[in-house]
Structure 1
């Protein structure tokens, strides 16, 4: 059985939705896998949302390991400021403490799902870890909000989402899989026409995230994120995609720049699968 490790800070409903999507796929047999453990960087009682996430994990009898990074930071009087933007020593020590707690488990793949900490070198060398980024491999970097504003500024033709291998450098790991969709399709044309002659900065100042084009791009991206995570795990578990020593290869052992799951995701979105 293909074994998964799950990492989350569990700040809100989205974290529960991600875990539920994978658990549902396991229960239906779509994923031939099991979640060996769930690790959370908060302890019980730190947040009502996080406690709701814990109840979900416990309801499925999954081993739950918690270790509060905020409490640890306070205990060691940690600081976020370091020369050159590298992780402070207390964060590296925190990762070491996490690894001690995870010694009984040996997952083949780990998933970051709402995990709000950058992984240090020790953690990245111990596990193959994947994470979601709300853009194509060649698209903008940054948060999903920053990505959308940049797409609007560029009058981009398409966007999507990708799963990448986690490295100590944020959002820079090798691309494992991705999906793409047009944002210049017929349904989008009236939305682009409505902002003609305005810059992204002007739209952001006047309408913000209530802008219809902004909302449409976000919606089309969001509805693809959960299927992309599930289908990416499925592709890895079936060895259609392989992660070996930081390199991504196909089922013939050839290096690839990400596995294109656009057709599979589109069929799911359109209800044909």
Structure 2
């Protein structure tokens, strides 16, 4: 039986669609020996143009799709007590995905913080646009912090989702330098927010995210890495601090 993945996304932009399309395509061609058994989206039809396009894509690909609007779920509680809202919303999510217990869940552009209970009940991995130990938050915040720190490298990682934001055990990662080459002259300018340096870092990060996800799912489906009792282990069961896929990501881009 192919390795089973569940896919979570808010579907907020083109990148969300590209990630799903790429992973699905690599499974269809056999590069990843797995299948997406369902897609979960926290937007329903009619909420935003972008999420509607995402739902159009899941329909086009023939994927089982589960929707449950986070915007429409108890908005008064969300404003009054965000933690309690998160718990109750994800209790509803867990009820909707209860029949998919054997799947590994991939968060790719899912913009909500998952409740602690859901983190502990299911194996979830998340794409985070920073290196292990790097800045937390959305990609915009990460890049702004990298510029403030005048960082030498950046990258992205897949990690286990844990109650502590963006700090779960690292599954895989890649890195690339941001002080040399085309980046170098941009540091000489005043690196204002959202200037040329900001967007070049974003561009180079985005083009590596699809390879990272596809190569990580391939490694999981082939058993090179496994999730066991909240830990990341290799094929022999020995604990890993994250599988470096830097070289494989660059080779993927050159292929």
TM-score calculated relative to the size of structure 2: 0.92
C-alpha displacement of 1:110? 0.6
2: distance between equivalents of 1:165 and 1:251? 18
Matching residue of 2:137: 142
Q: Aligned pair 1:127/2:122, yes or no?
A: yes
Whole-angstrom distance in 1 between the partners of 2:144 and 2:86 = 32
Residues of 2 paired with 1:227 and 1:145: CA distance? 21
Cα deviation for residue 81 of structure 1 reads: 4.5
Distance of 1:100 and 1:80 partners within structure 2: 23
Q: Distance in 2 between matches of 1:48 and 1:134?
A: 24
1:20 positional shift: 0.5
Matched, 1:39 2:24: no
Unmatched runs of 5 consecutive residues or more in structure 2: none
Deviation per CA, 1:21-43: give whole Å up to 9, x if none: 11111122111111111111122
Q: Secondary structure at the match of 2:89?
A: helix
Distance (Å, rounded) in 1 between the aligned partners of 2:98 and 2:181? 52
Aligned-residue offset at 1:166: 0.6
The Cα shift of 1:223 comes to 0.9
Return the match for 2:183 from 178, 188, 213. 188
Residues of 1 paired with 2:92 and 2:198: CA distance? 41
CA deviations over 1:71-96 (Å, ceiling 9, x no partner): 2224xx313444xxxx5323212211
Give the corresponding residue for 1:78.
77
Query: Could you say if the C-alpha distance between residues 91 and 252 of structure 1 is closer, same or farther in structure 2, counting changes exceeding 3 Å?
Result: same
Q: Which runs of 5+ in 1 are unaligned?
A: none
Q: Give me the whole-angstrom Cα distance separating, in 2, the residues matched to 1:101 and 1:141.
A: 29
1:90 to 85, 89, 106: 85
- Counterparts of 2:140 and 2:68, CA distance in 1: 29
What is the distance in 2 between the residues matched to 1:97 and 1:143? 25
Return the TM-score normalized by structure 1: 0.87
Separation in 2, partners of 1:247, 1:154: 30
Q: How many residues align?
A: 254
Structure 1 range deviating more: 48-57 or 172-181? 48-57
Which residue, out of 103, 112, 116, partners 1:108?
Answer: 103
Q: Cα–Cα, structure 1 residues 23 and 144, in superposed 2: closer, same or farther, change >3 Å?
A: same
In the alignment, what sits opposite 2:69? 68
Relative to structure 1, is the Cα distance of residues 67 and 149 closer, same or farther in structure 2, using a 3 angstrom cutoff? Answer: closer
Is contact 1:36-1:107 (8 Å) kept? no
Is 1:224 the equivalent of 2:208? yes
On the 8 A contact 1:163/1:178 being kept in 2, the answer is yes
Larger Rg: 1
